[in-house]
Amino acid sequence: MITWLLSVAVLAGSGVVAGVLFAVALSVLPALITMPADRYVYAHQLIGKRWDPTMPIIVLSSTVIDVVLVFTADSGNGLFAVAAVLLLAVSIVSHFCNVPINRVVKSLDPESIPPDWRDPRPLWRRFHLLRTALALVAVVVNAVALVPA
pLDDT more than 90, % of the chain: 93
Model confidence, pTM: 0.95
Could you read off the pLDDT of 102-135 as tens digits, one per residue?
999 999 999 999 999 999 999 999 999 999 999 9
Residue 62 pLDDT more than 90? Answer: yes
> Residue 1, class by beta-carbon neighbours within 10 Å (0-12 exposed, 13-18 middle, 19+ buried)?
exposed
Question: What is the predicted pLDDT for the residue at 145?
Answer: 98
pLDDT of 51 reads 81
Measure the CA–CA gap between 12 and 19, rounded to whole angstroms: 10
How much is the pLDDT for 148?
85
For the packed helices 2-23 and 54-72, what is the interaxial angle rounded to 10 degrees? 140
* Domain-wise residue ranges, the chain: 2-146
Across the chain, mean pLDDT equals: 96
The alpha helices in the chain, defined as continuous H runs, are: 2-23, 29-34, 37-48, 54-72, 77-93, 99-106, 121-146
